[in-house]
Amino acid sequence: MGATSITQELTCPIAAARMFKALIIEANALIPKLLPQFIKSVELVQGDGAAGSIEQVNFTEASHFKYVRHRIDELDKENFVCRYTMIEGDALGDKLESIDYEVKFDAASDGGSVCKMTSKYNTKEAFQVEEEEIKAGKEKAMAIFKVVESYLLENPQAYA
């Protein structure tokens, strides 16, 4: 099994605690509400949302994927860190065993935050992840991040 890792860093005018709560803690309710054209639902299929829990993201017919399942590996609400692994779903295709993610929010000096996202693509056998596949994944993550950021800017009382 091989692995390819990428890291991206985003700055945001929203405080770290608020972004973490919206994008990580409350994502199962918020993301389908903000992106109903792509995400049908996010449901907890095992556990209570803490480490060890498994959630399933169900996509709409507009997506070429049906669903993915994530296992929450760590959820540190005090330090705004979440580690989770995509363990199942057609998004893994025939090349990927799993994808490990780490999302960490740090406070920025201007009252906003800095989000550092790391993705580690664990491949089956000697497969190599294509740069186009990585780029597509980064673009999807960035789009979701920006939709949540815009929602929080437009709704200053939400997740305060």
Reported as a pLDDT band with limits 50, 70 and 90, residue 153 is very high
Q: For the chain, how are helix, strand and coil distributed in percent, rounded to 5?
A: 30, 40, 30
- 2-153, CATH topology level: Alpha-D-Glucose-1,6-Bisphosphate; Chain A, domain 4 (3.30.530)
Reported as a pLDDT band with limits 50, 70 and 90, residue 126 is confident
Q: How many CA atoms lie within 13 A of 23 on its CB side?
A: 30
pLDDT at 136 exceeding the cut of 90:
no
pTM of the entire predicted model: 0.90
- In tens, the pLDDT along 100-125 reads 999 999 999 999 999 999 999 998 87
- In tens, the pLDDT along 35-85 reads 999 999 999 999 999 999 999 999 999 988 999 999 999 999 999 999 999
Contact 121, 99 (CB under 8 A): yes
Local structure of residue 90 (DSSP, 8 states): G
pLDDT at 1 exceeding the cut of 70:
no
- Estimate the crossing angle of helix 27-34 against helix 131-154, to 10 degrees: 90
Mean pLDDT value of segment 23-37: 95
> Beta-carbon neighbour count of residue 14 at 10 Å?
24
pLDDT at 2 exceeding the cut of 90:
no
pLDDT at 94 exceeding the cut of 80:
yes
Task: Calculate the average pLDDT of the chain.
Answer: 93
Local structure of residue 93 (DSSP, 8 states): T
Predicted pLDDT at 111? 95
Kindly list the domain boundaries of the chain, sorted by start residue: 2-153
